Structure 1
Amino acid sequence: MWFVSVLLPLLRLYVCGIRVLWYQLFHRSFTLPVLPNQRGRVAIVTGGTRGMGLETAKQLVRLGMHVIIAGNETEEGLSAAQKMNDDRGEGQAEFVFLDLTSLKSVRHFADSFKRRGLPLHVLVNNAGTMLVPERQTEDGLEFHLCLNYLGHFLLTNLLLDLLKTSGRQGRCARVVNMSSATHYAGEVHLDDLNRRTCYSSHGAYSQSKLALVLFTYRLQELLTAGGFAVTANAVDPGMVDTALYDNLWTLAQVLKKPVAKVLFRTPAEGASVSVYAAVASDLEAVGGVYLYNGQKTQSSELSYDQDLQTQLWTKSWELVGLHQT
């Protein structure tokens, strides 16, 4: 039981990491093409105060967007927004507090945003955490599950009507979900999403990233069936040198430092795939794909299980307190 629940997820995750590093050893980071001006369009980027979220927000502001940086680090967020605005790009940035580990905070953020009367053209669900010791949120949810997946699931659904009214044929609104290669090692235990039976931080993280891909595909299926001008895609930035790895074991931290200097992507390189998914012309009206290094890639076999997609969607609605109609 311990091997299956704890050691096996750890081994799977590190095997995924080795495969990604092997790829990055021989392949350059994706280079963004010329992107269309985004003046007059509005984006929300979660986790936009640092790392890839910060770089994503910067690039979108440079393209002329009004970018709301959503995060729980107020001082960092205000400073980041000020620096972007001082650069005198065509767009503008602002920081708004959002704690994705609190369903109450997510609801407050969404309600406050909708009251402003702004459109919403791009939602980048970027915020995430990895390998946190066993911990529950104020709502009794496993930490990885809530921060990486359920908080974004709730946020997206609360803002979905606004995305639908903001998109139009020829210029769709877009949802971008930040997944990871670790989703290939993930399993979704619908009867124990909070992983209370036998906790593994590696398994919890992989599960949350697989859940994001399953969510992406189910969301796109519903959007297509409804004929809405909104697309949803999952992106994989590769292994990027950010604070995401701060919870690695001490030995892994030591080994990671020299490797990261040579093989890891920079935050700007990692952000390129989310920026591409958010605004690139050649992805107009393209949804339900998994993007790795700028290319459409097959995600895990499990992620295409439509029954699992539907069951996870229903379970997630229950966990975040939404009511399906």
Structure 2
Amino acid sequence: MRLLKLIWPVLKVYLVGLKVLLYQIFNKPFTLPVFPKQNGRVAIVTGGAKGMGYETARCLTSLGMHVVIAGNSEEEGLAAVKKIQEEDDERKVEFQHLNLASLKSVRQFVQAYKNRALPLHVLVNNAGVMLVPETKTQDGFELHFGLNYLGHFLLTNLLLDTLKQSGRQDSFARIVTISSATHYVADLDLEDLQSRSCYCAHGAYSQSKLALVLFTYRLQEELTSQGFPVTANAVDPGMVDTDLYQNLCGPTQLLKRPVARLFFRTPAEGASTAIYAAVAPEMEGVGSCYLYNGQRTRSSDASYDEDLQVQLWRLSRALVGLPVEGKRAN
């Protein structure tokens, strides 16, 4: 039984990966249209120093947006800033340290950001890890769940006031969260979110990505019910040739390399749908969407379970130390 618990999530992830790969073989990547300038708007992109995050930050700055690259490597972050500014020294881009595997770091990041009294019009929750060996965050959470999901959950909630104040009824603030097709095969066990009973990297990763979709939908419900000019959407970038795949086992890594060169999306192509969600005029005021290859599509059945959304929302608030809903934070 234990062996089945280890193997079954792996098989499901690779099967959904094969499905995505076949789609990409026979369908062209989404091409970004020409967007209006975003002068005066400010964005935070987590994991913006490399891969899809870098391409997202690069594109947003090209549209005139002031972008804060949030990441845990100062060297990579400053290098990304320099590279973007080398294209055009008038681009507004900077680096600010953020370790999503530390709730303390998340709080420090938000406080430092708020101290500057900057508005926030776009938050792109892009950073993540995939298929890492069993590891804990600084707060003792399983790394996929803690970094991919809980870190972004806390970051988003702490920045909500700034997003609400920055949005207007004719120009909503936007939250864009990167999920994955693996969420379709995820099993979310609220009694074992830390994967303690039987750790499987594939299962832990897919669970974190389902949690992000559930969070997105619940967040939009909260925002809509209170009439705030902020939207929340989830994005599936497809299979993208980035460093996320570095934890594949040896034989799979060898097989992946030629396949990736031929059929995976480039980081720029992978970032295109997130950029679309962040700035497209047709997405103005539109939330609770799951976007794939530039199109709205249906996420997993489990992601629409409203009871599961609420339970995960409440549990997550408790795990990250947010106050009970209805009570004012100190």
Identify the TM-score tier after normalising by the shorter chain.
over 0.9
Which amino acid counterpart does residue 202 of structure 2 have in structure 1? H
**Map of 1:228-267 to 2, 5 A cutoff?**
228-267=228-267
Which amino acid counterpart does residue 41 of structure 2 have in structure 1? R
Equivalent position of 1:25 in the other structure: 25
Residues 62 and 90 in structure 1, CA contact (< 8 A), matched pair in contact too: no
Corresponding position: 1:294 with 2:294: yes
| Displacement after TM superposition at 1:91 (Å) | 3.4
Secondary structure at the residue paired with 1:299? coil
Corresponding position: 1:226 with 2:250: no
Equivalent position of 2:311 in the other structure: 311
Secondary structure at the residue paired with 2:30? coil
Task: Describe the shift of the 1:89–1:34 C-alpha distance in structure 2 as closer, same or farther (beyond 3 A).
Answer: farther
Corresponding position: 1:201 with 2:223: no
| Displacement after TM superposition at 1:3 (Å) | 3.9
Equivalent position of 1:320 in the other structure: 320
Secondary structure at the residue paired with 2:157? helix
Runs of 4+ in 1 over 6 A off after TM superposition: none
Which amino acid counterpart does residue 176 of structure 1 have in structure 2? V
| Displacement after TM superposition at 1:110 (Å) | 0.4
In structure 2, C-alpha distance between the alignment counterparts of 1:297 and 1:150, rounded to whole Å:
25
Gaps in structure 1 of 5+ consecutive residues: none
Residues 179 and 236 in structure 1, CA contact (< 8 A), matched pair in contact too: yes
In structure 1, C-alpha distance between the alignment counterparts of 2:97 and 2:184, rounded to whole Å:
32
Equivalent position of 2:84 in the other structure: 84
Which amino acid counterpart does residue 49 of structure 1 have in structure 2? A
| Displacement after TM superposition at 1:138 (Å) | 1.4
Corresponding position: 1:214 with 2:214: yes
Residues 123-163 of structure 1, C-alpha deviation per residue, up to 9 Å, x if partnerless?
A: 00000110001111110100000111100000000000100
| Displacement after TM superposition at 1:264 (Å) | 0.1
| Displacement after TM superposition at 1:271 (Å) | 0.4
Which amino acid counterpart does residue 236 of structure 1 have in structure 2? D
Equivalent position of 2:271 in the other structure: 271
In structure 2, C-alpha distance between the alignment counterparts of 1:312 and 1:5, rounded to whole Å:
23
Supply the RMSD in Å over aligned alpha carbons.
Answer: 0.8
Gaps in structure 2 of 5+ consecutive residues: none
Residues 43 and 66 in structure 1, CA contact (< 8 A), matched pair in contact too: yes
Residues 177-203 of structure 1, C-alpha deviation per residue, up to 9 Å, x if partnerless?
A: 000000001111111100101101000
**Map of 1:95-106 to 2, 5 A cutoff?**
95-106=95-106
| Displacement after TM superposition at 1:261 (Å) | 0.8
Residues 65 and 90 in structure 1, CA contact (< 8 A), matched pair in contact too: no
In structure 1, C-alpha distance between the alignment counterparts of 2:235 and 2:139, rounded to whole Å:
28
Secondary structure at the residue paired with 1:60? helix
Residues 119 and 163 in structure 1, CA contact (< 8 A), matched pair in contact too: yes
In structure 1, C-alpha distance between the alignment counterparts of 2:96 and 2:286, rounded to whole Å:
29
Equivalent position of 1:180 in the other structure: 180
| Displacement after TM superposition at 1:33 (Å) | 1.1
| Displacement after TM superposition at 1:89 (Å) | 6.2
In structure 2, C-alpha distance between the alignment counterparts of 1:136 and 1:225, rounded to whole Å:
36
Corresponding position: 1:46 with 2:46: yes
In structure 2, C-alpha distance between the alignment counterparts of 1:225 and 1:143, rounded to whole Å:
32
In structure 2, C-alpha distance between the alignment counterparts of 1:221 and 1:4, rounded to whole Å:
37
Residues 180 and 235 in structure 1, CA contact (< 8 A), matched pair in contact too: yes
In structure 2, C-alpha distance between the alignment counterparts of 1:82 and 1:61, rounded to whole Å:
13
Equivalent position of 1:11 in the other structure: 11
Equivalent position of 2:167 in the other structure: 167
| Displacement after TM superposition at 1:79 (Å) | 1.2
Secondary structure at the residue paired with 1:36? coil
Residues 64 and 89 in structure 1, CA contact (< 8 A), matched pair in contact too: no
Corresponding position: 1:61 with 2:55: no
Which amino acid counterpart does residue 127 of structure 2 have in structure 1? A
In structure 2, C-alpha distance between the alignment counterparts of 1:301 and 1:90, rounded to whole Å:
45
Residues 226-262 of structure 1, C-alpha deviation per residue, up to 9 Å, x if partnerless?
A: 0010000000000000000000011110000010011
Which amino acid counterpart does residue 266 of structure 1 have in structure 2? T
Equivalent position of 1:110 in the other structure: 110
Secondary structure at the residue paired with 1:190? coil
| Displacement after TM superposition at 1:4 (Å) | 4.2
- Count of residues in Structure 1 that have an aligned counterpart in Structure 2: 325
Which amino acid counterpart does residue 206 of structure 2 have in structure 1? S
Corresponding position: 1:125 with 2:121: no
Residues 64 and 92 in structure 1, CA contact (< 8 A), matched pair in contact too: yes
Secondary structure at the residue paired with 2:214? helix
In structure 2, C-alpha distance between the alignment counterparts of 1:197 and 1:5, rounded to whole Å:
10
| Displacement after TM superposition at 1:90 (Å) | 5.3
Which amino acid counterpart does residue 10 of structure 2 have in structure 1? L
In structure 2, C-alpha distance between the alignment counterparts of 1:69 and 1:76, rounded to whole Å:
10
Residues 124 and 176 in structure 1, CA contact (< 8 A), matched pair in contact too: yes
**With structure 1 as the length reference, what TM-score do the two structures score?**
0.99
